[in-house]
Structure 1
Amino acid sequence: MAKTNPGRFFEDYRVGQVIDHAVPRTVTSGERALYHALYPARHALYSSDEFARACGLPESPIDDLAAFHVVFGKTVPDISLNAVANLGYAEGRWLTPVYAGDTLRSSSEVIGLKQNSNGKSGVVYVRTTGSNQRGETVMEYCRWVMVRKNDPDAPAPETVIPDLKKVLTPEDLAVPQGLNFDNYDFTLAGEPHRWGDYQVGETIDHVDGVTIEEAEHMMATRLWQNTSKVHFDATIRPDGQRLIYGGHVISMARALSFNGLGNAQMIVGLNAGAHANPCFSGDTVKAWTEVLDKADTPAPGVGAVRLRLVATKGGAPFELKGEDGKYLPNVLLDLDYWALMPQ
């Protein structure tokens, strides 16, 4: 009897299937230190307990994307171990901050299936929930991933494509209890720009770039216990290259966005996301942002801003798609998210 796990293939999924993922993980300040070592992350709320307390939180939370990576990593052995590519995201919400000492676990429900026309793979849609040791939901999100078939002759399932929100409304966003930006220290935060200084339609070139290193990518992917074969095994892809984990690109672009958006402190909503083109070691990631919307929140001094964060590997900023409507080949990431910012 085989004791090893080859992972699920496309024909192994059924709509309505619920998968509880192993292994729970207790996060510590070590995750924060490694996260800040891997990326140029320096948002003040996630760097300083004292800054966080001055903003009404009990201490500095774990970076929202670090928490996302932990929750995401739990799902990989069951959802995307045999993935060709992770395709997109929707309806992502950060509901409860994650603090050092919290234990996170993940569960996913299959909400859609669609076999590709080549009959060799298909797209699996899941809704993932991450919870802490108290049973509180810390985040939830939907994603869809292209997964290989093990048996090309396996019958195609009935096509079910879930109806997902294109954009979260401000009412969908959860502002952490106690968050208060009335006494926000712009000097310590590193930038003077507040919510009222940004205009819908404004674009921001984040200027800096970081070249992706093989060793750092491998360390990051292992840190989140992401076991997807395409990130580790160079024989999986016909080009013999290991694919950079899409979350690595997300975190790199978010960290680069500090230059111009240093006061966009907390990510609270993920409207949409697409890994437009593959990223490989040696690519230099740069980023730019477009301001899409703004909204008030009930929290004192806290505004919400909807941002489109684009990561590229060269090319002029503010160019996204060609005349054919397809992403330009230098575009790596197109991420639409809500963040909290002092008013």
Structure 2
Amino acid sequence: MQINPYLFILPRTPGQIVWNYKDHTQHELDLDYSSRLAQLIHNPELYDNDNIIDTQLLNAGILTVSVINNPVWGWDELSKIYHIGTRNIPCEYIPDNIHEWARQYLEHCNEVLASSPPADDTAERPPGRRIALPAPSTLNDDSLSNALTRRKTCRSFTGSAVRLSDVGSLLYLTLGYLREREGDCDDSIAEGLDARRSSPSGGGLNACEGYLLIQNVEGLAPGVYAYHPTEHALSLINPSPDTALGNLLGGQHFINNLPLGLFITARFDRLWWKYPHSRAYRMAFVEAGHLSQTFQLAATALGMNTWLTGAFADDQVDTLLQLENATEQPLFFVGCGESDGQAMCQEMRDLLRETPA
């Protein structure tokens, strides 16, 4: 007898939940079943065909007769659980043709729309005044290929101030609801879900938000600002952190003088509303990636260099963005400003040039 290798056990008083994250099945065990499972985990040879608990654990797939292939995994168990647990969306019926798909998807959307979408917390938080941003300017760059070939990750910034007009253009092109697409009508789009950004978003939900960390922008006091895409405006939510930026971003102190950074967050509640399966968690990261690339290309076209990272102190960033214990969570950070174009900071270049003793 074998223990299924794809089990994750959650303590839920007065029992425990055994989750088969590969097959997407869950079983609640009371004390008797939990105790027996613990014995069998310690020694599977104790399995007894005459023990009703044992046979029920076998029928539930918690135990298996044969060895289940368990591929080598180079990361920790959490990443394995996440990856395998979001594979193979369970579907009661796979449509055979486009007509069946359309009917099935419409039925799903109608079920979703029967409940109210999550409230737009960013519209109400914080309650302070809005700071209107300049209208986006026309970029001087003559082609997308120019921006793509010139974009590079830099780790040496001058700290020079960024113009407010460039901030307006950058945010509008990355996170703004495009006025240019307001007339792009489609009767298949539900009311309230017609806002469109320059980057794709799963289900058109625009589940990602943006928070600016301003250190040196003309006309804006240093601090942390929420961006409101509907109004194309900012609101101050916190003063500048009382620690160097590098302390927030994994000790990467070469970035301490970055004039402008953007935390990209995800509203998980928006995704839960339409997509109950955990595979939608992947879409949050995909959308953040789209926005990151758009930000970098727009910044490059505006004449700036960029830097990006997924390494940050989550608890500190949560506090800074006022997102403690929220259904909105930070996923990524991108920044831009004037740079000498170096891929590595001067300190690292000096270290690499040192002659071994």
TM-score by length of 1: 0.22
Structure in which a larger fraction of residues adopt strand:
1
Structure in which a larger fraction of residues adopt helix:
2
TM-score by length of 2: 0.21
